[in-house]
Chains A and B, each alone.
Chain A
Amino acid sequence: MKLSNALSNTKNDILLNPNAGTFSYVLHRLTGLALAGYIFAHIIVLSAVLSGPESFTQRLALVQTGIFHYLEIGLIAVIFIHMLNGLRITVADFANLTRLHKTLLWLSILIFCAIMAVTFYVFLF
């Protein structure tokens, strides 16, 4: 299947099936892509170590100020959305709880909110 057809079908599937499953599916894909992007950025920062300790310290200093501090909150959100949804579908699959997938989604959202409340507290206060 052509990539353009696959993308068009995915867009239609999202619009035509507005339900909890689609919501978590879209979030899982987007956070997965964000994490893949983050890994590249992470490697670029860490690769400075190959040029010596000074270069590494300088590169690290770049990403430990200003906007990056707030982006770290976003990173935590992305990691936990992806992780909790991954756990949710694994539990649904392997514990045969497929009929409870919406309850599991609400549980994941609750846990996520608790984690983010702690994250905000730690980062902002």
Chain B
Amino acid sequence: MTTFNVFRYDPAIDKCPKMETFDVKNERGMTVLEGLFYILENLDPTLCFRSSCRAAICGSCAMHINGQYRLACRTQIEHLKSDTVTVRPIAHSEIIKDLVVDMTNFFANLEKIKPYIINEGPFPEREFLQSEGERKGLDHLIDCILCGCCYGACPSAGTDEDYLGPHALMKTLRFINDPRDKGGKERLAFVSSENGVFRCHTVFNCQEVCPKDLDPSSAIARLKMKAVWNTLKNLVS
């Protein structure tokens, strides 16, 4: 048996959040997400959480599990090496119910950086070609599944809701480094602003918690470098 301590809060009914305890029959290989489904199906049908692919691809089931932000679907209970599993929602977002948060701000920040190729033409007859090497250079930036773990763990996002967040900044570098994209200068100017890269306090929590083992800290560091060189170049010229 594993004890699940689950964060419960329904803003429409509850005055303040509380932790509720459930005993879950643990089987070898069982994930935290399966544990939550066990609670939903057998103990409390009102428990609310998000999930979809169960394969660490969609990023829906990101939550705070036993001291770290993780994906519930790829976290096996036995790997936590504890008889208790404590589950909380992603921080820095309004709670809709229990473990479900409103990610409007998270995606609005992503939208601000124009997460698409900017190229005003002339357009090729078929598609913008990209060499294998050019694509490989984007590997470490492109695999982000937008789960929100980095955003929840980032203290800068907790004190400034306009801060773009590690997810949006890493996506910016992904487009700046893409040879098909022509919006580099515009993107760099945007992320060099007050709520961009220089709002990052270099805490490395984003790198620590990323379930895909990406390094948003490094992406932000490279954007800072580019922003500094750009400013120096403008001063000289």
Contacts and interface: CB of A to CB of B under 8 A. Distances in A.
A20 B68 CA distance: 13
Query: Dominant SS at the A interface?
Result: helix
B208 A17 contact: yes
B204 interface: yes
A12 B91 contact: yes
Given A1-B159, A10-B158, A13-B153, A94 B68 contact: no
A18 B203 CA distance: 12
A59 B221 CA distance: 46
A17 B153 contact: yes
Of the four ranges (under 10, 10 to 19, 20 to 34, 35 or more), the interface on chain A belongs to 20 to 34
Contact of A19 (B88, B161, B208): B208
Of the four ranges (under 10, 10 to 19, 20 to 34, 35 or more), the interface on chain B belongs to 20 to 34
13 contacts: A9-B91, A13-B91, A13-B154, A14-B155, A17-B153, A20-B204, A21-B208, A24-B203, A93-B202, A93-B221, A94-B224, A98-B215, A99-B218
Interface of A: 1, 6, 9-10, 12-14, 16-22, 24-25, 28, 89, 92-94, 96, 98-99, 101
Contact of A9 (B159, B205, B221): B159
A24 to B, nearest CB: 8
